């Protein structure tokens, strides 16, 4: 589903039911798009929270970036992101020492080891963020 406002996303839920007879509250996974530019904002959190409130809780976030995953990842069942690859490529980080030793590649923009390390660091940051007291 996609939209510009919280109401657009809720209207999407209604349209799936009224036009196709699909109850998204029982769907194994529902994709949420169009949040990439605002996922580090409170608006993305309001969209995901509104979907949860209406019973659509198994959400997949398309194209989530690091800040969005840290702030709102607890509202997602799954997400896809190229932030890890973008970080390795754009920040021109050198390849991981184990990749250099093995002569695999010059940078880790397409490296499973780098992706798994990035994921572990992201999950740790998300856990820490959820346990911080509200300002």
Q: How many independent structural domains does the chain possess?
A: 2
59 lies in the same domain as 113: no
Q: Per DSSP, which regions of the chain are E strands?
A: 30-32, 59-61, 78-79
Whole-model pTM? Answer: 0.78
94 lies in the same domain as 119: yes
pLDDT at site 25: 97
61 lies in the same domain as 101: no
Among 81, 101, 122, the domain-final residue is: 81
2 lies in the same domain as 65: yes
64 lies in the same domain as 98: no
Which has more pLDDT, 110 or 22?
A: 22
32-80: per-residue pLDDT in tens? 988 877 766 788 899 999 999 999 999 999 888 788 888 888 999 998 8
100-133: per-residue pLDDT in tens? 889 888 888 888 998 898 889 888 988 887 765 5
Compute the distance between CA of residue 61 and CA of residue 64 in angstroms, rounded to an integer: 6
pLDDT, mean of residues 78-86: 81
On the question of pLDDT at 22 being above 60, the answer is yes
Domain that holds residue 119: 82-135
64 lies in the same domain as 93: no
72 lies in the same domain as 91: no
Among 36, 56, 81, the domain-final residue is: 81
91 lies in the same domain as 53: no
On the question of pLDDT at 31 being above 90, the answer is yes
Mean pLDDT (the chain, rounded): 87
């Amino acid at each position: 589903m996609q939209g510009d406002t919280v109401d657009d996303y809720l209207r999407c839920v209604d349209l799936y039911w009224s036009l196709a007879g699909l109850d998204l509250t029982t769907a194994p996974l529902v994709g949420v798009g169009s949040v990439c530019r605002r996922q580090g904002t409170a608006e993305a959190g309001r969209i995901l929270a509104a979907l949860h409130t209406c019973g659509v809780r198994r959400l997949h976030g398309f194209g989530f970036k690091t800040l969005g995953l840290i702030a709102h990842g607890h509202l997602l069942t799954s997400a896809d992101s190229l932030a890890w690859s973008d970080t390795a490529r754009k920040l021109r980080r050198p390849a991981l020492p184990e990749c250099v030793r093995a002569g695999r590649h010059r940078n880790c923009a397409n490296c499973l080891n780098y992706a798994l390390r990035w994921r572990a660091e992201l999950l740790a940051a998300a856990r820490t963020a959820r346990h911080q007291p509200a300002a």
